């Protein structure tokens, strides 16, 4: 028996089609309509469509420099699923804009850990491609390391995570932090 498609899922798929055609305004309107159609009972961590709607709206809001709206979408989604990679990625970008660098590091590490969750494929993450990972390793982590007040403590946690998880993503974060830490030490000497 084929599963019935909900109106919000249909609108979400339409919005993704608009995005593929780089038609962002119609995509935003369709995503907002989709979000308004999600019943409270469907707002759960098991609902990849609902979380995808929120992540898409958050990223598009961030692109439009509507940080408060983007943060509201991120907060709503992370309240439901605290380890949603796309929402964590957007949160890290928002935290950079707010110059909350300790939290950028923490969020980047949570983002990387979310990528190795066993249920990750189920969510069809859109911000886990090589370009997004390059942004995390080459921009977000080094910038956050440069200005983080608790750099040493966070680096110690990442070191322990790397040794306990043996994750390649965490290893690369550790390496990026080491490199940024060396530059940080040169600046303070």
Percentage of the residues of the chain whose pLDDT score is greater than 90: 83
Q: What token pair was written down for 180?
A: 């940024």
- What burial class does residue 125 get, using C-beta atoms within 10 Å of its C-beta: 0-12 exposed, 13-18 middle, 19+ buried? buried
Confidence of residue 175 (pLDDT cuts 50, 70, 90): very high
Residue 126: name the closest of 15, 7, 5, 10 by CA.
Answer: 15
Confidence of residue 118 (pLDDT cuts 50, 70, 90): confident
Please tell me the pTM assigned to this model: 0.90
Confidence of residue 1 (pLDDT cuts 50, 70, 90): very low
Any idea how long the chain is?
Answer: 189
Q: What pLDDT is recorded for position 3?
A: 45
8 Å CB contact between 141 and 174:
no
Residue 124, sorted as left (phi over 0), alpha (psi -120 to 50) or beta, turns out to be left
- Residue 182 CA to residue 133 CA, distance in Å, equals 21
């Amino acid at each position: 028996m084929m599963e019935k498609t909900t109106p919000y899922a249909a609108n979400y798929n339409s919005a993704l089609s608009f995005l593929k055609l780089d038609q962002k305004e119609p995509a935003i309107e369709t995503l907002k309509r989709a979000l308004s159609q999600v019943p409270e009972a469907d707002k759960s961590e098991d609902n990849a469509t609902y979380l995808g709607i929120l992540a898409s709206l958050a990223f598009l809001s961030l692109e439009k420099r509507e940080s408060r709206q983007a943060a509201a979408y991120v907060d709503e989604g992370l309240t439901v699923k605290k380890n949603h990679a796309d929402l964590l990625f957007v949160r890290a970008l928002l935290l950079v804009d707010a110059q909350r660098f300790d939290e950028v590091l923490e969020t980047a590490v949570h983002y990387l850990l979310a990528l190795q969750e066993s249920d990750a494929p189920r969510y069809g993450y859109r911000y886990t491609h090589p370009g997004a990972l390059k942004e995390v390793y080459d921009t977000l982590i080094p910038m956050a390391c440069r200005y983080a007040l608790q750099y040493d403590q966070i680096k110690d946690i990442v070191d322990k995570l790397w040794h306990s998880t043996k994750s390649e993503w965490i290893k690369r974060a550790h390496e990026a932090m080491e490199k940024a830490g060396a530059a940080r030490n040169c600046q303070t000497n």
